[in-house]
Amino acid sequence: MMEGEIFAATLVPPGSMTPDSSMTLEQKTTFVFVILLFIFLGILIVRCFRILLDPYRSMPTSTWADGLDGLEKGQFDYALA
């Protein structure tokens, strides 16, 4: 750069600056949607870490063979015949 030049790092050319610099409705909607996605991602991360730390808490205590009368677990195949 030459001495005396002004370095302007703007994305919008100086001639097309709008006087109202507030966000448009589309930008507000996108911002709210992104915030909701981050909240949802945070909930999923917390849930996954809870499952990783204690994987057996979310499993039911009953098994598929609890309802069979007079059969041992693992003998369900013989009961079908």
In angstroms, rounded to a whole number, what is the distance separating the alpha carbons of residues 6 and 22? 27
pLDDT at 76: 57
pLDDT at 35: 98
In angstroms, rounded to a whole number, what is the distance separating the alpha carbons of residues 34 and 6? 36
pTM of the model: 0.46
pLDDT at 68: 55
pLDDT at 23: 85
Map residue 41 onto helix, strand or coil. helix
In this structure, what DSSP letter does residue 11 have? S
* Residue at 49: amino acid letter: F
CA–chain centroid gap for 42, Å, is: 6
The pLDDT tens digits along the chain (81 residues) read 555 555 555 555 556 555 566 889 999 999 999 999 999 999 999 999 998 998 887 777 766 655 555 555 555 555 555
Torsion region of 4: left, alpha or beta (phi above 0 gives left; psi -120 to 50 gives alpha):
left
